[in-house]
Structure 1
């Protein structure tokens, strides 16, 4: 009897050792790259490799040239010309500018929105483009805000999507500009900031970030940055501001703790670390903004493609690939049109509000309880499937937003949720495979030359 029990224990131990490991054991390195200012419809709306993509092909999506005359001079979206590499104009992507694109007014009634009595009409993008960039009546130029790239324009980005997981219902957290959204990505709130104000320049935000949270848990991280164009990776106070500082420097903790000197590095360090297998548990990459590699107008789309290709191939060719998850997203829609209604009545990151002066000279106050437009987001790893189109979230608030990134990291590394928004945003661990793929591409296509 004792021998049988011992044998049973040995058998159970053998079965346990052969059982598949948890997804948490398989993902040791998370790499996040946040590009700039492209809505889902603008960048991925022209993809045709899957009929499951909620994009622009075959869709009639139109705006009037003047929203005050909604039945006159109707312009509909179309694919961009083959040689289109640089957007002529940078659309208004302030909170009020985005509201105009969605609701045809800078001042939508927020109470009616909350009660479900006011939905976006999505008719104001074309009008606001003319107002913001000073070319009234120029339909050809203004229609850039509605038009979309094809796979021929962006072969690198399309190949990433085709080979991995593309989200077509991933929303930016703020219907507004870059830095408030990047704060939601890295801390689950913008602490009441709704514009790219000086609070983001150097340690102006007081809230706990994912960077502080990881350090407190002894989990390694580096913020690799090409944003300032110098080897240090950031711009010190007193230096000319030629771009944005890397996102970890938003936070006072990063300065006060000394992490600015130990955990913020220039982009060349990323390539060196990827090649040597020295990437930390969490790598967060800032592109330059806004002239060459970020895709933010007027950054050429081809140079952005080159940057994406270089980051992917460095990861894929490095010794840590089989334990890596690479998340590529875009910080916000950049004012470009998208045909899907952003979610409303969502938990804000905190109770703070933001007020700005709209183009009509009147103030508008925003409480962060509605999301911005969809942005293209791709998960890449040998642990995710090929050609997967992911729609709504499967847990929590059943919605993917930028706060899904810190929410996922909380699941992966047993961290607390930073804010009500991260506690609500869906995570995506259900997408992981039980064993790694062996067919992930080592290289991506050549960049299109214009």
Structure 2
């Protein structure tokens, strides 16, 4: 593996060539260091494609990016049409819940905007701890981090330029909540990243007999065939059924060249819950599964730590969130999503780069209002008897009209 420094040198910030060769010391990420010692870490978990955030996120719950290899704001906002593991769970009478902080980015999947899923979305701060305490967490629980940082509520998604210590605090909070839940002995907590962030890695990306998920190819000029994986990403798994210090390398199948990658998550969910639904794509049918990770012991451990260490800010001079900062690319993408949920994309004056005109605080306020309005309107449509496959089409917040789309 080479080219990391050369690529970084082509960027405007010449310091990147040094940064890409660095990493965090264990004392900088004490939560992860503790969880790795206490539970399991994967040393060959790869991105689904050698590409950026959004395509890899799409693979996580659908085992395909539907031909996407980059960030296409218009398509992201319109919504990707493929079937997801959420749909498979629903078909099999099982439950899922998405606990979000600013906005659920899982709404990039168009199916999840259907009325039948509106009660699956919960505000993290209001519901997660309560549901865990009462033993009411669903079969699949997804926790989305805070993507916008405002004063008093820092972003905790580990995205530059956010402090990784805030991401550590989120993981600590989730773990300690799960640890005291009556569902602890039934829980597998999975922590992973969509892509590697450009940092150096010496392990070659697998490219032998990696199946194209669904026959789609990427756009010109490369026409990527989706026949190789991306760079490794950190993946940690936590459960009282896991031995201390477990390191997982290669999967046990289903094919001799299967690897752990993001499609392993829907593949394993299908296996653990014995779903009768078909595989989502050729990719999750091929990806390695990890159900054996929680089959190491005959009974759950009772020595799992109840409290994790504190995480200190990594910056020498910690500061409050910069609310006036311009939006990052990812933040701009979720603003575009919020604009569709809010109905503002129907306005003739709607700009396709809406986020360029907002700072972080404005983006935070906008997406929060849009999500609240969309979910409220959807729940009202349910009360009025609309079909469960309906997606509410909002009109601009300048009006009060809504319509439904089948």
Is TM > 0.5 for Structure 1 vs Structure 2? yes
| CA distance in 1 between partners of 2:307 and 2:142 (Å) | 22
Which residue of structure 1 aligns with residue 349 of structure 2? none
Deviation of 1:200 after TM superposition, in Å, equals 5.7
The question of 1:246 aligning with 2:105 is answered yes
* Matched ranges for 1:196-211 at <5 A: 196-198=71-73, 201-202=76-77, 204-211=79-86
Assess, with a 3 A threshold, how the Cα gap between structure 1 residues 202 and 274 changes in structure 2: closer, same or farther. farther
Which residue of structure 2 aligns with residue 221 of structure 1? 96
* Alpha-carbon displacement from aligned partner over 1:193-237 (angstroms, at most 9, x marks no partner): 1122235644521111011111111101011112xx2xxxx3xxx
* Alpha-carbon displacement from aligned partner over 1:46-77 (angstroms, at most 9, x marks no partner): xxxxxxxxxxxxxxxxxxxxxxxxxxxxxxxx
Which residue of structure 1 aligns with residue 339 of structure 2? none
Deviation of 1:127 after TM superposition, in Å, equals 2.0
| CA distance in 2 between partners of 1:288 and 1:191 (Å) | 26
* Alpha-carbon displacement from aligned partner over 1:159-208 (angstroms, at most 9, x marks no partner): 01110010000001011111211111101101011122235644521111
Deviation of 1:128 after TM superposition, in Å, equals 1.5
The question of 1:127 aligning with 2:14 is answered no
* Matched ranges for 1:167-182 at <5 A: 167-182=42-57
Secondary structure of 2:169's match? helix
Deviation of 1:290 after TM superposition, in Å, equals 6.2
Q: How many residues align?
A: 301
Deviation of 1:282 after TM superposition, in Å, equals 0.7
The question of 1:192 aligning with 2:67 is answered yes
| CA distance in 1 between partners of 2:40 and 2:144 (Å) | 22
Match of residue 423, structure 1, among 266, 285, 304: 285
Assess, with a 3 A threshold, how the Cα gap between structure 1 residues 385 and 172 changes in structure 2: closer, same or farther. same
Match of residue 142, structure 1, among 17, 26, 40: 17
Match of residue 193, structure 2, among 321, 330, 343: 330
The question of 1:365 aligning with 2:223 is answered yes
Secondary structure of 2:27's match? coil
Deviation of 1:289 after TM superposition, in Å, equals 2.8
Q: Is the Cα–Cα contact under 8 Å of residues 8 and 16 in structure 2 kept in the other structure? A: no
Q: TM-score, normalised by structure 2?
A: 0.71
* Matched ranges for 1:305-316 at <5 A: 305-316=168-179
| CA distance in 1 between partners of 2:249 and 2:305 (Å) | 24
* Alpha-carbon displacement from aligned partner over 1:23-54 (angstroms, at most 9, x marks no partner): xxxxxxxxxxxxxxxxxxxxxxxxxxxxxxxx
Deviation of 1:141 after TM superposition, in Å, equals 4.4
Which residue of structure 1 aligns with residue 336 of structure 2? none
Secondary structure of 2:98's match? strand
* Alpha-carbon displacement from aligned partner over 1:96-133 (angstroms, at most 9, x marks no partner): xxxxxxxxxxxxxxxxxxxxxxxxxx22111222323x
Which residue of structure 1 aligns with residue 259 of structure 2? 399
Which residue of structure 2 aligns with residue 46 of structure 1? none
Which residue of structure 2 aligns with residue 156 of structure 1? 31
| CA distance in 1 between partners of 2:114 and 2:197 (Å) | 32
Q: TM-score, normalised by structure 1?
A: 0.64
Deviation of 1:265 after TM superposition, in Å, equals 1.7
RMSD over equivalenced CA pairs, Å: 1.7
Match of residue 282, structure 1, among 140, 143, 167: 140
| CA distance in 1 between partners of 2:54 and 2:146 (Å) | 14
Q: Choose 395-404 or 145-154, whichever is displaced more.
A: 395-404
Secondary structure of 1:327's match? strand
| CA distance in 1 between partners of 2:88 and 2:71 (Å) | 24
| CA distance in 1 between partners of 2:61 and 2:270 (Å) | 12
Assess, with a 3 A threshold, how the Cα gap between structure 1 residues 255 and 202 changes in structure 2: closer, same or farther. farther
Deviation of 1:336 after TM superposition, in Å, equals 1.6
Deviation of 1:434 after TM superposition, in Å, equals 2.3
Deviation of 1:365 after TM superposition, in Å, equals 2.4
* Bigger Rg over Cα: 1
Secondary structure of 1:152's match? helix
Deviation of 1:250 after TM superposition, in Å, equals 2.1
| CA distance in 2 between partners of 1:337 and 1:369 (Å) | 22
Match of residue 273, structure 1, among 113, 124, 131: 131
Which residue of structure 2 aligns with residue 387 of structure 1? 245
Secondary structure of 2:33's match? helix
